[in-house]
Amino acid sequence: MQVSRFGAWAAVIFLGSFGLAGCGPSANTSASGSAPIAARPEVVITLDGARHTCVVALYNEAQGSAVACTDVVPFVRDELRVPSGSVYDLRTVANVDEAEVKRVGASLNAAGYRFVGGPH
């Protein structure tokens, strides 16, 4: 039995389409146009409840700078030169007032920075 080239290619394409059926986004994936947030933040802000201050550091720095929590945005923008739209993470040490955490996060969000997400 001899199979024509057309018939052979048709069989390959037909069978190959079954192998690709599971590729691509699932039907329940959101179709929002927003880019995914990076797994690693550019800047990390640690709120220190015992000292009532914020320690701000680039992700790859071993040590950060202690600044007043009200000065986090100007420090990130002007001193560290982290551009708006970059990703940040909030962490806490000791007992930190939840309202202070929310204030720092809200000020960063208002300045255009994006929270990486997760618990602090």
> What pLDDT shows up at residue 94?
86
Half-sphere exposure of 105 (CA within 13 A, CB side): 16
Task: Please report, for the chain, the start and end positions of each structural domain, with discontinuous segments joined by +.
Answer: 43-115
> What pLDDT shows up at residue 37?
57
Rounded Cα–Cα distance for residues 104 and 97 (Å): 11
> What pLDDT shows up at residue 117?
78
> What pLDDT shows up at residue 22?
45
> What pLDDT shows up at residue 2?
54
- The pTM of this model reads 0.67
> What pLDDT shows up at residue 63?
93
> What pLDDT shows up at residue 118?
63
105 within 8 A of 89, measured Cβ to Cβ = no
| C-alpha distance from residue 82 to each of 27, 87, 106, 113 (Å) | 36, 9, 17, 9
| pLDDT digits (tens), the chain, 120 positions | 454 554 444 444 444 444 444 444 444 443 333 445 556 899 999 999 999 999 999 999 989 999 999 999 999 999 999 999 999 999 999 899 999 999 999 999 999 999 987 655
